[in-house]
């Protein structure tokens, strides 16, 4: 059973930065696509970034490219999302997710239905 636990959210002023963390307990293999999603009030869930747990390629939504950085600490089973130059429109609940590795290699990485495991979310508020 894969367990994902997010942390690091909070309230930040525009232009600030946050680093979100996701403890990926039991995700010890190199065979997962790991992703961050967000859901703003009254908006659809949006995939913002994904990376293959074995390292290598990353994917970003156009809306966050250049400001968001996804990374992994394999030794400690952690997934991170560095968010810089925060904007009010980044306000949302952020979730980490895990799914089979092939998701990262194709164009479906941003589709939430492709992922099997989800964390409980962490709130980011920019104002």
Checking if the pLDDT of 74 tops 70, the result is yes
Asked if 50 and 34 count as a contact pair (C-beta separation under 8 A), the reply is yes
Q: Which residue has the higher pLDDT, 74 or 34?
A: 34
* Four-point Cα dihedral 86, 8, 55, 44, nearest 10: -60
Nearest to 95 by CA among 21, 28, 14: 21
Per-residue pLDDT of 10-53, as tens digits, reads 999 999 999 999 998 765 556 789 999 999 999 999 999 999 87
Neighbours of 47 (CB within 10 A): 22
- 3-state DSSP assignment of residue 102: helix
Checking if the pLDDT of 57 tops 60, the result is yes
The predicted structure's pLDDT at residue 29: 55
- 3-state DSSP assignment of residue 70: strand
Tokens matching residue 42? 């009254």
Asked if 12 and 38 count as a contact pair (C-beta separation under 8 A), the reply is no
Residues of the chain above pLDDT 70, percent: 95
Question: In Å, how far from its chain's centre is CA 109?
Answer: 11
* Four-point Cα dihedral 85, 46, 34, 77, nearest 10: 50
Asked if 22 and 96 count as a contact pair (C-beta separation under 8 A), the reply is yes
């Amino acid at each position: 059973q894969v367990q994902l636990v997010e942390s690091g959210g909070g309230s930040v002023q525009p232009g600030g930065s946050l680093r979100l963390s996701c403890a990926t307990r039991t995700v010890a293999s190199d065979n997962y696509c790991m992703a961050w999603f967000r859901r703003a009030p009254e908006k659809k869930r949006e995939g913002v970034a994904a990376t293959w747990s074995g390292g290598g390629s990353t994917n970003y939504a156009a809306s966050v490219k250049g400001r968001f950085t996804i990374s992994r600490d394999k030794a400690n089973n952690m997934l991170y999302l560095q968010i810089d130059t925060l904007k009010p429109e980044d306000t949302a609940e952020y979730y980490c997710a895990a799914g089979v590795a092939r998701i990262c290699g194709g164009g479906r990485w941003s589709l939430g239905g492709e992922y099997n495991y989800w964390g409980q979310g962490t709130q980011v508020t920019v104002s």
